[in-house]
């Protein structure tokens, strides 16, 4: 009886250890597979929606750029982001702001957000270099769009991320065309 009792105890201990090892392996697998990844914001296109310009009697420019921004959530959980803005900068001065409203994005999905930025006229015309650029017919802008938010999986695994996309934009005033090159930076 005592022999079988001991055998049973050893058996139980071995079974417990095995269960523990399996449990640890499952948790590790779970964390590796479901580990939150950074949602990513990418500017897909920059278009010139509207432009009015004049050099005389005084330099004048009124333009609206349309930005199409793609937000990609690679996670097995949702991504919730705060209110943010897209900014337009000309020769170091902020010349336009456009809101990107807070939102929510489902697991493993991609959405596109459209936003228009119109120049703040007053800011722009102070710049002397603006006159020269307008004469040459090419105006260079930088746009920055950023999202900040939380990606969560089963409300347990959470990660805070911010993703920025910066574009260098050249607007050709006469042909009314734009060229742009964009890059994305992600940070935890
Ligand atoms: C620029 O154009 C928009 C739309 O046509 C207009 O509402 C706005 O007043 C214009 N701005 C200037 C400074 O003319
Ligand atoms: C941006 O401008 C385009 C064309 O002018 C218009 O169709 C669109 O509704 C605007 N989008 C937003 C978000 O204001
Ligand atoms: C504007 O950008 C274009 C393309 O990046 C560049 O070739 C040009 O020199 C820039 N112009 C100015 C005035 O910075
Ligand atoms: C994104 O841009 C904002 C404002 O321009 C800045 O505060 C933030 O550090 C940037 N984040 C990254 C990841 O570059």
What are the tens digits of pLDDT across the range 80-134? 999 999 999 998 889 999 999 999 899 899 999 999 998 886 666 666 788 888 8
CATH assignment of 36-187, given 3.20.20.70, 2.60.40.10, 3.40.50.720, 3.40.50.300?
A: 2.60.40.10
How far apart are the CA of 34 and the centre of ligand 2, in A?
37
Domain ranges of the chain: 1-33, 36-187
Query: Is 164 near ligand 2, meaning CB less than 6 Å away?
Result: no
Query: Is 62 near ligand 1, meaning CB less than 6 Å away?
Result: yes
How far apart are the CA of 185 and the centre of ligand 4, in A?
8
Which of 93, 98, 105 has the alpha carbon at shortest distance from 142? Answer: 93
SS3 call for 33: helix
Are 147 and 115 in contact by the 8 Å Cβ rule? The answer is no
**pTM tops 0.85:** no
């Amino acid at each position: 009886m005592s022999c079988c009792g001991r055998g049973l105890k050893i058996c139980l201990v071995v079974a417990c250890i095995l269960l523990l090892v399996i449990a640890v392996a499952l948790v590790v697998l779970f964390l590796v597979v479901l580990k939150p990844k950074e949602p990513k914001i990418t500017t897909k296109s920059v278009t010139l929606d509207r432009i009015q310009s004049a050099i005389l009697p005084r330099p004048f420019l009124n333009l609206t750029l349309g930005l199409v921004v793609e937000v990609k959530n690679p996670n097995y959980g949702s991504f919730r982001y705060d209110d943010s803005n897209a900014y337009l900068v000309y020769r170091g001065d902020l010349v336009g702001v456009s809101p990107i409203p807070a939102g929510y994005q489902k697991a493993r999905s991609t959405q596109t957000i459209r936003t228009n930025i119109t120049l703040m006229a007053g800011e722009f015309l102070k710049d002397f270099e603006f006159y020269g650029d307008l004469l040459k017919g090419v105006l260079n802008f930088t746009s920055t769009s950023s999202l900040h938010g939380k990606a969560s999986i089963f409300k347990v695994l959470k990660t805070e991320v911010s993703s920025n996309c910066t574009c260098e934009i050249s607007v050709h005033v006469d042909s009314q065309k734009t060229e742009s090159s964009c890059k994305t930076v992600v940070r935890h």
